[in-house]
Amino acid sequence: MRDFPLIFERSVPGRRGFGLPESDVPAQPLEELVPPQALRRRPPALPEVSELDVVRHYTRLSHRNFSIDEGFYPLGSCTMKYNPKLHEELARLPGFARLHPYTPEELAQGALQLLWELGEELRELAGMDAVTFQPAAGAHGELVGLLVIRAYFASRGEKRTRVIVPDSAHGTNPATAAMVGYEVVTVRSDARGNLDLAALEQYLDERTAALMLTNPNTLGLFEEQVDRISERVHAVGAQMYLDGANFNAMVGITRPGDQGFDVMHMNLHKTFSTPHGGGGPGAGVVAVKSHLEPFLPVPVVVRDGDRYRLDFDRPQSVGRVRAFYGNFANLVRAYAYLRTLGAEGLRAVAEHAVLHANYLRVRLAPYYEIPYQRICKHEFVASGVRQKRRDGVTTRDIAKRLLDYGFHAPTVYFPLIVEEAIMIEPTETESLQTLDAFVDAMVAIDRECREDPEKVRTAPHTTAVGRLDEVRAARQLDLRWRPA
Ligand SMILES: Cc1ncc(COP(=O)(O)O)c(C=O)c1O
The rounded Å distance from CA 305 to ligand 1 centre is 37
| 176 pocket-lining for ligand 1 (C-beta < 6 Å) | no
Residue nearest to atom 8 of ligand 1 (CA): 138
The rounded Å distance from CA 160 to ligand 1 centre is 25
How large a percentage of the chain has pLDDT more than 70?
Answer: 98
**356-372 per-position pLDDT tens digit:** 999 999 999 999 999 99
Q: What pLDDT, on a 0 to 100 scale, did the predictor assign at position 2?
A: 58
| 246 pocket-lining for ligand 1 (C-beta < 6 Å) | yes
For ligand 1, what atom is nearest to the CA of residue 276? Answer: 10
Q: Which residues of the chain have pLDDT under 50?
A: 1, 279
| End-to-end CA, the chain | 24
**Which residue among 134, 168, 170 is best mutated to probe the pocket of ligand 1, counting the most ligand atoms within 8 A of its Cβ?**
170
**Is residue 129 a part of any domain in this protein?**
yes
Residue nearest to atom 7 of ligand 1 (CA): 138
The beta strands (E) that lie in 133-182 are given as 162-166
Q: What pLDDT, on a 0 to 100 scale, did the predictor assign at position 81?
A: 86
Chain center to CA of 153: 29
| 135 pocket-lining for ligand 1 (C-beta < 6 Å) | no
- Which CATH number is 160's domain given? 3.40.640.10
Q: Please give the DSSP secondary-structure letter assigned to residue 92.
A: T
Indicate the number of domains in the chain: 1
Cis peptide upstream of residue 415 (ω within 30 degrees of 0): yes
Decide if 352 contacts 47 (C-beta within 8 A).
no
The span from the CA of 217 to the CA of 77, in Å, is 9
Residue 395's contacts (CB-CB under 8 Å, 6 or more residues apart) are 383, 384, 387, 388, 412, 413, 420, 421, 422
**260-278 per-position pLDDT tens digit:** 999 999 999 889 988 876 5
Q: What pLDDT, on a 0 to 100 scale, did the predictor assign at position 279?
A: 46
**Is residue 181 a part of any domain in this protein?**
yes
Crossing angle of helices 138-155 and 172-179, in 10° steps, is 40
**Is residue 322 a part of any domain in this protein?**
yes
**Is residue 41 a part of any domain in this protein?**
no
User: What are the phi and psi torsion angles at 380 (to 5°)?
Assistant: -150, 165
| 326 pocket-lining for ligand 1 (C-beta < 6 Å) | no
**310-343 per-position pLDDT tens digit:** 999 999 999 999 999 989 999 999 999 999 999 8
For β-strands 162-166 and 208-214, DSSP reports them as parallel
Residue-number span of the structural domain to which 220 is assigned:
86-340
**171-186 per-position pLDDT tens digit:** 999 999 999 999 999 9
Residue 219's contacts (CB-CB under 8 Å, 6 or more residues apart) are 168, 189, 193, 372, 376, 380, 381, 415, 417, 418
Q: What pLDDT, on a 0 to 100 scale, did the predictor assign at position 269?
A: 87
**Is residue 407 a part of any domain in this protein?**
no
**Is residue 269 a part of any domain in this protein?**
yes
| 281 pocket-lining for ligand 1 (C-beta < 6 Å) | no
